Structure formats: C-alpha cells, structure tokens
Structure 1
Amino acid sequence: MVYTLTAVLSVVVVLTVELLWLRTGVLRTARFWLAMIIVLAFQVPVDGWLTKLSHPVVRYAPADMTGWRFPWDIPVEDFAFGFGMVTLTILVWVRLGRRAGEDPS
C-alpha cells in the first residue's frame, strides 16, 4: 500500500503546510475549487487513457495500492496526488505573490 499511503500523506502534508505555515486562505475561495474542477476535467480523460486496464500505458503494482479505480480505470490514488500537487503549486504561487507585494488575484 505504498502508493496509497504516499498519496494520502501528500494531501495531509499540503493541508498541514497551508494551515500551519502558509495560511493563504486559498482553500476557502471559489476560485480554488473552480481550478480543481478544471484540473479534474483534464485529468480524467488523460489519466483514464494512461491507466485503462485494457491497454495501459502506466502500470501500477497491485500490492502498492487499494485497487479502487474510478471513473473508468483511474486509480483513486492519482486524484490525491493530483490534488496535492496542484494545491501546493497554487499555495506557493499565492504566498510568493504576497511576499513580493503583489495582489495574487
């Protein structure tokens, strides 16, 4: 379950960094959640194509994950990693913009 644990840990770390250190408030904005919907709109078809069980481009070790796949054949862990990666990028971008005295919106 290494992949599963790492995916969950990535979300926990990003949320902890936001709540205890960066404190941007981004997670409370409609813009952030709209951005996440846009990311999912692209992630689902691309990840679905890459991980389709009938002809996978990317293969996962079954012992390293839950085996839950939704929608189509996308491992649920991929959504956690995607959320963590995109969220951390947005949080750092906003934080650096505020340090530079710019309005990040």
Structure 2
Amino acid sequence: MKTIRPTSFPKDPFIDTTAVVAQAIKAARTQAGLRLADAALLARVSLQTLVDVEAGKPGVSLGKVLQIADAIGVSFFAIPSSRREQIRHQLAHLNEGTE
C-alpha cells in the first residue's frame, strides 16, 4: 500500500485563491493518513470531485468544497475585512509552535 505523505497547511490563514483552499484540504487529508479514495467516500463526493478540489480547480461548487472540508476536519471562518489583518496576526501567533 502506498504511504501517505503529510503535507502542510497554508502558513497564512487568509484564503484568497482556490490554491489555498486546495492546500488546506490536502493537508487535512494527508495529515489524517487518508487516501484520496477514502476521503472521497468519507465526504460522500466522487473521487474526481476531490481530485479537482485538491488541484485548486475553480469549477467545483462551494457546497461540495464545504462538504469535503467538514468531512475531513477543515474549518473556514468569515470575518469583516476591516479586521482581516488583526485576525491574521492573531491566528499566526496561535499557530506558532504547532507545526
């Protein structure tokens, strides 16, 4: 059986591209030791949908992305843009030492 190599979460928690979402989803999956097929089953999506999400393809519906994220343990938060930098700084500080 192929070994799952854990990948890292994005250093910056600000999500501004599909590539950042893809990195977070893949990191959660690989750190949990889940193969693509197993994670797709867990999330109740097709293997191709998960592959597309991890590739950062923008055509996957937001609902499917949230379904996958919830199934594998990724959380997204919405905050006012006026507080973005303050929250980014606080989250970066909280993440120090966890990697």
For normalisation by structure 1, the TM-score amounts to 0.28
Higher relative CO (Cα under 8 Å, sequence separation at least 6) belongs to 1
Superposition TM-score, scaled by structure 2 size: 0.30
Q: Which has the larger radius of gyration?
A: 1
